[in-house]
Amino acid sequence: MNSFLFRLTFAQNPITHAERTYQQGMYQAPRHWLRTVTKWLVVAISLIVFGMAFVTSYTDTNPAVLIEQYAPLMALLIIVAAGYHIYLMFHTMILAANSISREKEGLTWDLLVLTGINARQIVRGKWWAIIQLQFRRYLLLSLLRTGVAIVLGVAIGSYTYKCTVLNFVALLYPNVLTLVLCAVFGTIFTLANLAITAACGVLGSVSSRSSAAAIVRGFTNQIFLTLLVTAPVIYAIHQRLFYYPAWSIKYLSSFEFLYAGLALLDSGLMVVSSPLYGSYRPRKQNLTVSIGPTSGDWVIAVCIALLLSIFLIWLTLWRAEKSAIAAMATPVNA
């Protein structure tokens, strides 16, 4: 698996170069000053949220007060981040679904097969070209999602604490290390979503002769394969949590593992933001808010979720390569 990922990341082939050149020539991003200003305003808000959480954690103060005070800006951040994520997913799927079906519609697929390039090079080359094309946009998205994770985590934790009215406990907010890990893990999950979407689009493109059918198959593949990997994991964790409560108390402070099972469905948002909900401990010296340690259970849960993402990427590309082998044996005009 490691050698596979290494060759996949660093090896360049002519398919990658040709596909990236074509997509860059075809893609003309519409620009408008209002769209640009809104984008960078939201990025600034996200960075301010992260800096605010960093400072409040360092100074042992409650970040929920500032988030509640600037609630309209926080709502704008969430709305723009969600819209931008949906837009990028659709755009990535369209690019990937068009990668091979375009060859078939243009009657150049048979010529590509005659060049002697094997199915693995075609699939990996098309997939990697899409990732290179969308990489910067998804990095920008990761900045927005980091801010959203902090806002949601702190807001949910503060609301839960107020509803429980536990006067004998203090609320523990995450420390600086936890915030940094949330940003790093959130970026990795965002890029993993790019890789999964591109892989499902290429799989749909291999199996289709038209771009429209490839897009539909791409989304269908993503939904089906995600549920195929996620459902057994969620079921196993659910059984373990609710039928073995002693195991749950010993090894799991909350539901991080369950969030890890859902990571493929929400691109890791819940599992990344879960330590930001806060935890509780007996209050000392009238202290109502304090800073808690980084949860080892949470780090393990995130690693499990990342392994599931890597497995889904490998599974999708493997299916695409098998489909490409079958497609290469069948002429387009047959």
Whole-number percent of the chain with pLDDT over 70: 73
Radius of gyration over every alpha carbon of the chain, rounded to an integer in angstroms: 23
The whole-angstrom separation of Cα 57 and Cα 291 is: 7
Give residue-wise pLDDT tens across range 8-56: 444 557 777 777 777 776 665 566 666 677 777 788 888 888 887 777 7
**Residue 172: how many CB atoms within 10 A of its CB?**
17
User: Which of the two residues, 196 and 122, has the higher pLDDT score?
Assistant: 196
- Core vs surface per residue 71-110: b (16+ CB within 10 A) or e: eebbeebbebbeebbeebbebbbebbbbbbbbbbbeeebe
Any alpha helices (H) in 59-70, and if so which ranges?
A: 64-69
Residue 315 near residue 225 (C-beta atoms within 8 A): yes
Mean pLDDT value across residues 246-262: 57
**Residue 205: how many CB atoms within 10 A of its CB?**
34
Decide if pLDDT at 110 tops 50.
yes
DSSP annotation of 209 reads S
Give residue-wise pLDDT tens across range 200-226: 999 988 888 788 888 898 899 888 888
- Residue 239 to residues 245, 251, 252, 260, 270: CA-CA distances in angstroms? 10, 15, 14, 15, 20
The whole-angstrom separation of Cα 54 and Cα 44 is: 15
The whole-angstrom separation of Cα 50 and Cα 56 is: 10
Which token pair is 101? 């079906």
- Residue 296 to residues 152, 237, 242, 257: CA-CA distances in angstroms? 21, 17, 21, 12
pLDDT at 284 (0 to 100): 53
Please tell me the pTM assigned to this model: 0.82
- State the residue for tokens 């992260």: 50
Nearest alpha-carbon partner for 97 in 25, 29, 23, 24: 23
Torsion of CA 90, 93, 94, 97, to 10 degrees: -160
Give residue-wise pLDDT tens across range 148-188: 888 888 777 777 666 665 555 556 677 778 888 888 999 99
